[in-house]
Amino acid sequence: MGVRKVSVSLEERAAVAAEQAAEAEGMSLSAWLSRAALQAAGIEDGLRGVAEFEAAHGPIPEEELRSAAEFADRHGIGRRPRIGWEESRPTGSVGESDEAGA
């Protein structure tokens, strides 16, 4: 695995949240940010895939979405709340839903 050194600027709240989360997990800030970037990119890729599927086949039925959410909840799959997440959560992102857990 290669590592590339980059310089980034973060909003103060994002920097503090990332530092606290990294410390809580016993990780370096660089390792935590790297993992977070890969997770976010994977989520965005999945959301694009769902959008492509729905464009070709129509919307996924609500019952199927509920069933998938229940499965994920039962098996502990999903995003764990992070320090400062709600305050720094972006709005208008791809696949954003008005329904909680969808």
Residue range 24-83, pLDDT digits in tens: 999 999 999 999 999 999 999 999 999 999 999 999 999 999 999 999 999 888 765 555
pTM (predicted TM-score): 0.66
Q: For 28, which DSSP code?
A: -
Query: What is d(CA 76, CA 85) in angstroms, rounded to the nearest whole number?
Result: 19
- The answer to whether position 86 is within a domain reads no
Domain limits at 55? 12-77
Domains in the chain, number = 1
Comparing C-alpha atoms, which of 17, 43, 34 is closest to residue 96?
Answer: 43
